Amino acid sequence: MEHSTYLIIAYMAIWSGLSAYLFWLSGRQRQTARRLEILSNQLKRQENRS
């Protein structure tokens, strides 16, 4: 393989690795938002009952 091919693969690996981590973070953020929504719905139901 040419040196430039290794360079391209290295840059792709670095930035796709960092992008994958960012996507994982956004997934966790969505999960937390969903859990918070479920909790606020539960809280509303408890308030309505009381």
Partner 1 sequence: MTPLNRATFLPALATLLVPLAIGMIFFYAPLEKSMGIIQKIFYFHLSLAGAAFLSFFIACVSGIMYLLKRQRIWDARLAASIEIGVVLTTLVLISGSLWGRPIWNTWWTWDPRLTTSLILWFIFASGLILRSAIDEESKRATFCAVMAIIGFVDVPIVFLSARLWRSIHPTVIRSAGIGLESSMLVTLVVSMVAMLVFCAALFHLRCIQHQQESTVRDLQQQLQL
Q: Which residues bind partner 1 (CB under 8 A)?
A: 1, 3-4, 6-7, 9-11, 13-14, 17-18, 21-22, 25, 28-29, 32, 35-36, 39, 42-43, 46
Name the token pair of 28.
């966790």
Would you say 39 or 48 has its CB closer to partner 1?
A: 39
What is the 8-class DSSP label of residue 15? H
Residue 1 buriedness (CB in 10 A; 0-12 / 13-18 / 19+): exposed
